Chain A
Amino acid sequence: MPTHTPSRSTSGPAPGAAPAPRKRQPNGADLVIRLLERQGIDVIAGIPGGANLPLYDALGRAGSIRHVLARHEQGAGFMAQGMARVTGRPAVFFATSGPGATNTLTAIADAKLDSVPVVCITGQVPLSLVGSDAFQEVDIYGMSIPVTKHNFLVRSVEELAEVIPAAFRIAASGRPGPVLVDIPKNVQMAPVDQAVFDNPPLPGQPAPPPAPDPAGISRAAALLDAAKRPMLYLGGGVVASGASDMAVQLAERAGLPTVMTLMALGAMPAGHPLSLGMLGMHAARHTNLLLAECDVLLVAGARFDDRAVGKAERFCPQATIIHIDIDESELDKILPVHCGITGDVGLALAELLPLLRTRAEAGREAWLTRVEECRRRHPFVMPGADDPRTPYGLIRCAADAVDHDAIVATDVGQHQMRTAQAYPLRGPRRWLTSGGLGTMGFGLPAAIGAALARPEATVLCFTGDGSLQMNIQELATAAEEGVNVKILLADNNALGLVRQQQELFYEGRLVASSYRRKVDFARIAEGFGVPAVDLDASEHPLRDLADALRAPGPCLIRVTVPAGANVYPMVPPGADNLHMIGGEPEPGDAMPALSEDDDDSDTHADATGGRHVHA
C-alpha cells in the first residue's frame, strides 16, 4: 500500500508543533470498534494491511480489545472458531482486502459446515475503486456467498450501525454460522456523527429460538412410547442449543441407548451407561450393529452426514425416524423422515421429556440387556492404550493426565478419528474438530482460540505431521501469547488417513501419501519459541508426558507412530454402516458376519474381501 506524502515545507503548521488538543471526530472504523466492544468482544485475531488500517488504528486508539496477531488469515479464522466453539458466542477476526480476504475463505467455509458463529470483518478498497481491479481488490462479497450464512458489503458509513449488530444477530440466531462484513476503506474513514457514536444501536442478540410444533412433539412421544428398541442420535445442534443435559435426562428417563455424531461428542459424557459413543464410519462395531436393530430413532440436531449414516438408504432399515432440527431445510434432505419437527432442539427435548413413558413403564430392560450383550460381544478395541508411545496410548495417557475440564482440539486424519474414538469427553463445548469440512490445519489455531477464551483450561491439540504443517506458523502466535496449548503430535511421516484408503480401497497402491523427508518437529517448535518433548527419546514417557502437560504455556509433545497402523473399524465410503472392516477383539479371528443382505457391489469394499486386518 504505497502512500504518497507531498513534501511541502513552507506552508502549514511548523513540523513538530503540538496540535491544539481537539476532540477528533469519530470515523466509521471507530464506530465498528465501539459496536464490537458493545457486543462483548474482548479478543480479535487478525492481520492488518492497507485496506483495514483505519480499523487497526481505531482498535489501537480504543485500547479496549486485545488483538492477537495471527501469522496467516486462515489461522486467525480458526482462532475465532476456537473461541466461538468453546463459548457458543460469536467471535471476530480481521483481514485486509485481496489476499488477506481470500485467505479467510477456508476457515469461513469450515464454520459454515459446522454451524459456528464467527464474524469476519474484511477491509476493502475504497468504493470508488471497487470493480476496477484495484490493487488488492477481490470480490470477497461474491466469493463468500456460498460459504457464509450471510454477508454484507457496506456501502455507506450510515449502514455500519445497522450491519454490525445484524452480523452478530444472524451469526448467532437459529442455526449459527459465519457472517462476513466487507468494509471499504473510505467507509472506515468517513466521519460519523458524534451523536450516533455516543448513542450507538443496541448490540445484536440472537433471535428467540422458534418453538417446536406441539403436534409434532406429541406424535414423537407416541412413537417413542410404542417403541421396543428405541435409540437416541445426537448431533452438533444439541451442543449448539445448550441441550446436552436435557438430552441426557431424556435418554435416562426413557432408557434410550444414545449415539453421537463427531460434532456431538461430549454431549453425553463418555462412560455414561447409555452412551454408545460415535456412530458411523469409525464407530465401535456394537454401535453400528445396534443402530441396525433399532425400531424408533430420535435424531436431534443432526443432518445425516454421510460419514455418520453411511449409505443413507440402508441406514437403520427397521427404524421409524423422528428428526428435530432448527433448520427446516435439513428435514427430508437426505432421508425421508416419519416425523419431522422444526425447532430448537433444547426446547423440543424439554417438551418431549415429560410426555415420555419412563424406562420402566415402557419395559425397556430387554432391549437394554441386548445392548449390553452386543457391547460385550463387539467391544471397541484400543490396542496399546497404556503406552503413550502408541497411537491410542498417546490419547488415553494424555486424557489421564489432565482434568475433566480440559479442552480437546484435533486436526484431520487418523489421529482425529482415534481421538474421537478414544478420548473420554465429559461434557459439551470441550471438543473442537473440523467435522463437516475436514480441514487439515484446523487444530493448532482452533486450540489457540480456545485457550484465549478459556485461559484457565488446559487445551490439548491432537495433531498429525501433515495437518500440523498446514498452519505450523501459528506456533509463533502460541509462543507470543503464551497460551496453554499442548500439541500432541502423532508423527507417522505420512498422510495416514489417505494412505489407509489407498491400502484398503486402491489395492495398496500408495501414491503421494507419505513424505520422503522427515521433519524435525521438536527443533521447529523450539525455533518458534515453543518447548518440545520427544517421547521417542524418553526413558519415562508417562512421566515426561504428564510433566509436559502440567507445565504452563504452550508445548509440543511428539511421538513416532507407524504409518501402517490403520484406524478400525472402518466403513468404506459409500457403503452401509454394517459393512465394517476390522476392529474385531482378537486379530486373527475371521471377520464377523456382516448383515444378511450384504451384497454391496457398488462400493470399493470388495477390494478387502477376506483380507486379514489388524486392529
Chain B
Amino acid sequence: MSMPDTATPDRQHLSPRPACPTAVAPDARPLVALRLTVNNHPGVMSHVCGLFARRAFNVEAILCTPVNGGQVSRIWLLVAEDERLEQMVRQVRKLHDVLDVRRRPAGGEGFARLAECMAAWERETAGQ
C-alpha cells in the first residue's frame, strides 16, 4: 500500500487549509496520533477508514508506510481527542488485518515534517 500518487492534486481542496497539522484539531481539541500495524493488502485502508467514517470521526491526517519488505504496513492516523476514542481503538483492534494499535498525544513533529514535504510539492507545482 502506498500514498495515492495523484498527478493533478485537487488544489481547491488543499489550499484553504494550512498544510501543516498542528497538535490541536481545528476545534482546538488536542490531537492524538494512532499507529496501526496492519497486514499489507489493498483492502486494509478501506476497513480502517470505514470505521472512523461511520462514527463521524474526522481524521486530520493519514499516512501509510511499508515496514520491512512490505508484508506489513504502518498506518498513521491523526485524530482529535474524543471520549469515544478508547472504544474506537478497541473496534480498530478487532479488525482482522490490524495487528497492533498504539496511541500517544501528537506532538505534531512527524506529521509536520510530512506537511512540509507536501507544502514543497504544492509550491513546486503551483501554476501547473
Binds A, one of B19-27, B62-70, B86-94, B112-120: B86-94
Q: Is the CB of A149 within 8 A of B96?
A: yes
Q: Is the CB of A329 within 8 A of B91?
A: yes
**CB of B123 closer than 8 Å to a CB of A:** no
Q: Is the CB of A328 within 8 A of B43?
A: no
Q: How far, in angstroms, from A151 to B44 measured CA to CA in the complex?
A: 10
User: Which residues from chain A contact B50 at a C-beta distance below 8 Å?
Assistant: 145-146
Q: Is the CB of A333 within 8 A of B43?
A: no
Closest CB-CB distance, B110 to chain A, in whole Å? 27
A:312-347 near B, CB below 8 Å: 327-329, 331-333
**CB of B103 closer than 8 Å to a CB of A:** no
Q: How far, in angstroms, from A572 to B92 measured CA to CA in the complex?
A: 33
Q: Is the CB of B54 within 8 A of A146?
A: yes
Interface residues on A, range: 10 to 19
Chain B residue, CB-CB nearest to A175 = B94
Given contacts A145-B50, A329-B87, A333-B87, contact A153 B94 (CB under 8 A): no
Q: Which of B46, B47, B96 lies at the interface centre, i.e. has the most chain A CB atoms within 10 A of its CB?
A: B96
* Interface residues of B, dominant DSSP: helix
User: Which residues from chain A contact B47 at a C-beta distance below 8 Å?
Assistant: 145
B:47-65 near A, CB below 8 Å: 47, 50, 54
Q: Which of B43, B46, B86, B96 contacts A332 (CB 8 A)?
A: B86
Q: Is the CB of B96 within 8 A of A328?
A: no
**CB of A367 closer than 8 Å to a CB of B:** no
Q: Is the CB of B96 within 8 A of A141?
A: no
Q: Which of B54, B90, B97 contacts A329 (CB 8 A)?
A: B90
Q: Is the CB of B46 within 8 A of A328?
A: no
Q: Is the CB of B90 within 8 A of A328?
A: yes
Q: Is the CB of B90 within 8 A of A153?
A: no
Given contacts A141-B43, A145-B47, contact A332 B94 (CB under 8 A): no
Closest CB-CB distance, B70 to chain A, in whole Å? 15
Closest CB-CB distance, B115 to chain A, in whole Å? 29
Given contacts A145-B47, A150-B96, A327-B94, contact A332 B54 (CB under 8 A): no
Q: How far, in angstroms, from A151 to B46 measured CA to CA in the complex?
A: 12
User: Which residues from chain B contact A149 at a C-beta distance below 8 Å?
Assistant: 96
**CB of A250 closer than 8 Å to a CB of B:** no
Q: Is the CB of A142 within 8 A of B96?
A: no
Chain A residue, CB-CB nearest to B47 = A145
What are 17 contact pairs spanning A and B, CB under 8 A? A142-B46, A145-B43, A145-B47, A146-B50, A146-B54, A150-B95, A151-B43, A153-B42, A327-B94, A328-B90, A328-B93, A328-B94, A329-B87, A329-B90, A329-B93, A332-B86, A333-B87
> Known contacts A145-B46, A146-B54; can you find 20 more A-B pairs with CB under 8 A?
A141-B43, A142-B46, A145-B43, A145-B50, A146-B50, A149-B96, A150-B95, A150-B96, A151-B43, A153-B42, A153-B43, A327-B94, A328-B93, A329-B87, A329-B90, A329-B93, A331-B90, A332-B86, A332-B87, A333-B87
Query: Which 10 pairs show the lowest CB-CB distances between chains A and B?
Result: A329-B90, A150-B96, A329-B91, A328-B90, A145-B50, A333-B87, A146-B50, A145-B46, A329-B94, A145-B47
> Chain B interface (Cβ within 8 Å of chain A)?
42-43, 46-47, 50, 54, 86-87, 90-91, 93-97
